[in-house]
Amino acid sequence: MNRIISRGMAVFSRKLGVNGVCDVVEFHASPKGVELAGREGKWLPVPVEYKRGRPKENDADSLQLCCQAMCLEEMLLCDRIPKAYLYYGETARRTAVVLDETLREKVKALLVEMHELYTREYTPRVKPGKSCNACSLKDLCLPRLYRTDSAAEYVRKRLEESL
């Protein structure tokens, strides 16, 4: 199969109000694809997300992958990407994810909720778990703060420590 691989590709969607980075985007030769500069033919983008662990019991990874595909569709003005892939390091398996309308609608609904929280300037409390240790956002999220009474109390304690 003819394909081109792009690693660490930045993606965004103005419609969804989101941006991010795809671990890998494979461009597969396809008449339903888009033209790429310096390449002949048409190429369909297919995002591939790499995860260190194993598949989760929830659909968070599939939602992330679907959101990446929706960004690619808007950026590249291409037809709908029908499927994408999750690769889990612990199982060394690549799993196809069908990007159906149900998954796409859930992505949109979660992004609406996220933007509403942002507009209200409200940060939901995190519920830390064992998965926090392997999370790439651990240093931003700071799950250990969940155990404190409030952000103001946390700041007060840190200020007292520095005196």
pLDDT per position as a tens digit, 81-105: 999 999 998 899 999 999 999 999 9
> If you average pLDDT over every residue of the chain, what do you get?
87
Query: What pLDDT is recorded for position 107?
Result: 97
pTM (two decimals): 0.80
Query: What pLDDT is recorded for position 103?
Result: 97
Return the closest-CA partner of residue 51 out of 8, 94, 84, 82: 94
Burial 107-145 (b: 16+ CB within 10 A, else e): beeebeeeeeeeeeeeeeeeebeeebeeeeeeeeeebee
Return the closest-CA partner of residue 99 out of 110, 85, 83: 83
Reported as a single tens digit per residue, the pLDDT across 40-52 is 999 999 999 999 8
Q: How does residue 143 score in pLDDT terms, banded at 50, 70 and 90? A: low
Q: Which amino acid is at 152?
A: A
Return the closest-CA partner of residue 72 out of 137, 26, 136, 3: 26
Q: Show me where the domains of the chain are located.
A: 3-124, 126-163
Q: How does residue 148 score in pLDDT terms, banded at 50, 70 and 90? A: low
Query: What pLDDT is recorded for position 101?
Result: 97
